[in-house]
C-alpha cells in the first residue's frame, strides 16, 4: 500500500506494489495508443456510413473541393428518398414482424426444453443437452438448399411465415443452451420446498423458476431478436417478391441497380436498418455481453 497513491487507487490496482512499472508514458504507448487505433478502425465504417448518408450528391465524390471526412450542407434527401420512394418502410416492417415472432416462438420452446433438460431430468436429458449444442453448430449455409426445397414443398415459399418458421432452427438451440445455464444457477432447494408445499411442475416453472431467470430471458430474447434481424441467407433464398423482403435483402437486391450506385441512399438504408438493433443494444449492453460469453463458457 504505497503512501503516494490514494486509497481508491490502491483498491483499483490489481497487483499491489507493481504500480511503479505503470508510468504514464508507458501506459500511453502500450495501452491507450493501441486502444485508440482499435476504436478508430472498429468505428470508422459507421462514421463513413453516417456521413455518406447525409452528404449531398455533389459533394459525395468531389474529394478535391470538399473534404471527404466532413459534410458542408447535410441533407436528408437520401433518407426522404428511402422512406417515401422505395419499399424500405415495408422491409423494416417485415423484418420487425419476422424477428418478433420467431423470437417469441423460440423463447417459449426454449424455456420448456431448457427446464426439462436441467430440472425434470428425464432419461437421456444429458444426451439431449448435447444434441442441442450440436444443433447450434449446424450452420445455415449448409441448410438453406434443403430448407428452400422444403419451404417450397409445403407452400410457404415467398412469405413471412417461411422465415418465422425457419429462424427458430438457429434460435432454439442457442436460447436453450443459454437458459440451461441460467436454470442451473437457481438453487434446487427452492423447487424442493415448493414441491413439498404441493406446487405442480407448472406452478414451479411459472411462479419460481421464470421470475428468477428473468435476466436470462432478457439475454436470450434480445440476442435472438438481433440474430433474426441480422439473418440474411434464408431471407435471400426464401423470399422472391419485393414487398416480402427483409431490410438486409431489400437494401442489397433492390437499391443496388445498374452500374451507378446511389451511395447516399444505400448508406442511409444501412444506417436506418442498423438503428433498431443498435438502440436495443445500447439499453442492454450487459445482457448482450453475458449472453455472448454465456454461450461460449459452458
Partner 1 sequence: MSNPAATEHKPSFLERLSQSRNGLGFLFMLPAAVFLLCFLTYPLGLGVWLGFTDTSIGRTGMFIGLENYIWLWNDSVFWLSVFNTLLYTFVASVLKFVLGLWLALILNEHMPFKNLFRAIILLPWVVPTVLSALAFWWIFDSQFSIISWVLMEWGIISRPINFLGDPNNARASVIAANVWRGIPFVAISLLAGLQTIPQSLHEAAALDGATSWQRFRRVTLPLLTPIIAVVMTFSVLFTFTDFQLIYVLTRGGPVNATHLMATLSFQRAIPGGQLGEGAAIAVAMIPFLLAAILFSFFGLQRRKWQQGGTD
Binding mask 174-213 for partner 1 (x = CB under 8 A): --x------------------------x------------
145 makes contact with partner 1 (CB under 8 A): yes
224 makes contact with partner 1 (CB under 8 A): no
Q: Which of residues 231-260 bind partner 1 (CB under 8 A)?
A: 232-233, 236-237, 247-249, 251-252
User: How many residues of this chain interact with partner 1, rule: CB under 8 A?
Assistant: 97
Residue number, 90 or 140, with CB nearest to partner 1: 140
Residue number, 52 or 219, with CB nearest to partner 1: 52
Q: How far apart are CB 75 and partner 1 at their closest, in Å?
A: 17
Q: How far apart are CB 13 and partner 1 at their closest, in Å?
A: 7
Count of alpha carbons within 13 angstroms of residue 119, beta-carbon side? 27
Q: How far apart are CB 68 and partner 1 at their closest, in Å?
A: 6
What number of other Cβ atoms are within 10 A of residue 227's Cβ? Answer: 19
Q: Which of residues 33-92 bind partner 1 (CB under 8 A)?
A: 34-35, 38-39, 41-43, 45-46, 48-49, 52, 60-61, 63, 68
Residue number, 217 or 251, with CB nearest to partner 1: 251
7 makes contact with partner 1 (CB under 8 A): no
Q: How far apart are CB 186 and partner 1 at their closest, in Å?
A: 16
Q: What is the DSSP string of the chain?
A: --SSS-HHHHHH-SSTT-GGG--HHHHIIIIIHHHHHHHHHHHHHHHHHHHHHTS-HHHHS-TTTS-TTS-SS---HHHHHHHHHSSHHHHHHHHHHHHHHHHHHHHHHHHHHHHIIIII--TTHHHHHHHHHHHHTS-HHHHHHHHHHHHHHTT-TTSHHHHHHHTHHHHHHHHHHHHHHHHHTS-HHHHHHHHHTT--HHHIIIIIIHHHTHHHHHHHHHHHHHHHHH--HHHHHH--SGGG--HHHHHHHHS--SSS--HHHHHHHHHHHHHHHHHHHHH-HHHHHHHHHHHHH-
149 makes contact with partner 1 (CB under 8 A): yes
32 makes contact with partner 1 (CB under 8 A): yes
Q: Give the binding range for partner 1 (CB under 8 A) out of 85-93, 181-189, 206-214, 222-230.
A: 222-230
Q: How far apart are CB 263 and partner 1 at their closest, in Å?
A: 6
Q: How far apart are CB 182 and partner 1 at their closest, in Å?
A: 16
Amino acid at each position: 500500500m504505497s503512501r503516494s497513491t490514494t486509497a481508491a487507487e490502491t483498491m483499483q490496482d490489481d497487483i499491489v506494489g507493481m504500480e511503479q512499472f505503470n508510468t504514464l508514458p508507458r501506459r500511453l504507448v502500450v495501452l491507450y495508443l493501441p486502444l485508440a487505433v482499435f476504436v478508430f478502425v472498429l468505428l470508422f465504417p459507421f462514421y463513413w456510413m453516417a456521413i455518406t448518408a447525409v452528404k449531398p450528391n455533389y459533394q459525395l465524390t468531389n474529394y478535391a473541393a470538399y473534404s471527404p471526412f466532413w459534410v458542408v450542407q447535410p441533407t436528408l434527401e437520401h433518407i426522404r428518398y428511402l422512406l417515401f420512394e422505395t419499399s424500405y418502410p415495408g422491409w423494416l416492417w417485415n423484418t420487425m414482424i419476422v424477428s418478433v415472432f420467431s423470437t417469441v416462438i423460440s423463447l417459449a420452446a426454449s424455456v420448456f426444453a431448457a427446464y426439462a433438460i436441467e430440472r425434470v431430468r428425464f432419461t437421456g436429458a444429458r444426451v439431449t443437452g448435447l444434441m442441442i449444442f450440436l444443433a447450434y453448430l449446424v450452420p445455415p449455409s449448409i441448410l438453406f438448399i434443403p430448407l428452400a426445397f422444403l419451404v417450397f414443398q409445403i407452400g410457404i415459399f415467398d412469405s413471412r411465415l417461411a422465415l418465422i418458421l425457419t429462424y427458430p432452427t438457429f434460435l432454439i438451440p442457442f436460447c436453450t443452451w443459454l437458459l440451461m445455464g441460467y436454470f442451473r444457477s437457481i438453487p434446487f432447494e427452492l423447487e424442493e420446498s415448493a414441491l413439498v408445499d404441493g406446487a405442480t411442475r407448472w406452478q414451479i416453472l411459472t411462479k419460481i423458476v421464470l421470475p428468477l431467470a428473468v435476466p436470462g430471458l432478457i439475454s436470450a430474447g434480445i440476442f435472438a431478436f438481433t440474430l433474426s434481424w441480422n439473418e440474411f441467407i434464408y431471407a435471400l433464398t426464401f423470399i422472391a417478391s419485393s414487398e416480402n423482403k427483409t431490410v438486409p435483402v431489400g437494401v442489397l437486391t433492390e437499391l443496388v441497380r445498374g452500374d451507378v450506385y446511389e451511395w447516399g441512399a444505400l448508406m442511409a438504408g444501412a444506417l436506418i436498418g442498423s438503428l433498431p438493433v443498435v438502440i436495443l443494444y445500447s439499453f442492454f449492453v450487459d445482457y448482450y455481453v453475458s449472453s455472448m460469453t454465456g454461450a461460449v463458457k459452458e
